């Protein structure tokens, strides 16, 4: 059976390249691509983030999820200008395939922080109508659980020290592949 990673990377890059009229690279046939899947596509240039968009739940075929998230990361991430054709050659693609999120049960903030597994867990934080996630890769920049959680709260539009009865935490893991 072909390795899923190269197929996911090719799908993501092909989706972006097609917008610039570039021909697609071959994509190996993998049955997993037709099953529902949740993915994030991260774009970097010289090691710096250039776009990152994804899905937290599996609701469409993985093939389509990766293609749509690649396009969104390249052209619709509100933190960045749309990718230009001349940037494509210096842009590296990473695809993360998410496991279903599981709730983290905790009694207070200290208990929640103690349960986080740096470099293993991706975290979804929800409070009321606000929601944000950090992939496990974010632990590389934010290795301290308290700092990680504070920044995730800010990403969700909450104060860094927010703690309320509506706060929920879920965790997931990823399999990831990155272009050289």
State residue 3's pLDDT score: 84
Instruction: Grade residue 150 by pLDDT with cuts at 50, 70 and 90.
Output: very high
- Mean pLDDT, residues 136-157 taken together: 97
| Strands, sheet with 174-178, edge to edge from the N-terminal-most edge strand | 48-54, 38-45, 91-98, 174-178
Residue 2 has pLDDT above 70, yes or no: no
Residue (of 23, 55, 28, 54) closest to 41 by Cα position: 54
Full-model pTM: 0.93
Residue (of 147, 148, 127, 154) closest to 136 by Cα position: 148
Bridge pairing between strands 174-178 and 91-98: antiparallel
- Mean pLDDT, residues 68-76 taken together: 98
CB 119 within 8 A of CB 135: no
Instruction: Grade residue 180 by pLDDT with cuts at 50, 70 and 90.
Output: confident
Residues 160-174 have pLDDT tens digits of: 999 999 999 999 999
Class of domain 4-98: alpha beta
Common-topology check for domains 4-98 and 102-174: no
| Spans of all domains in the chain | 4-98, 102-174
Residues 87-106 have pLDDT tens digits of: 999 999 999 999 999 999 99
The C-alpha angle with vertex 169 and arms to 138 and 99, in degrees rounded to 5, equals: 65
Residues 110-132 have pLDDT tens digits of: 999 999 999 999 999 999 999 99
State residue 59's pLDDT score: 96
Q: Domain 102-174, CATH 1.10.3720.10 — does that match?
A: no
């Amino acid at each position: 059976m072909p390795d899923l990673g190269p197929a996911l990377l090719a799908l993501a890059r092909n989706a972006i390249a097609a917008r610039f009229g570039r021909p697609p690279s071959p994509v190996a046939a993998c049955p997993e691509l037709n099953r529902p899947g949740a993915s994030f596509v991260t774009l970097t240039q010289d090691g710096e983030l250039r776009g990152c968009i994804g899905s937290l739940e599996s609701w469409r075929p993985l093939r389509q999820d990766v293609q749509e998230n690649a396009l969104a990361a390249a052209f619709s991430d509100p933190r960045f200008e749309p990718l230009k054709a001349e940037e494509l050659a210096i842009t590296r693609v990473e695809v993360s395939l998410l496991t279903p999120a599981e709730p983290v049960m905790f009694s207070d903030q200290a208990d929640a922080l103690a349960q986080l597994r740096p470099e293993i867990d991706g975290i979804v934080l929800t409070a009321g109508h606000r929601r944000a996630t950090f992939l496990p890769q974010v632990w590389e920049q934010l290795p301290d659980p308290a700092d990680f959680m504070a920044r995730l709260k800010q990403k969700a539009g909450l104060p860094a020290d927010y703690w309320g009865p509506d706060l929920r935490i879920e965790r997931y893991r990823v399999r990831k592949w990155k272009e050289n």
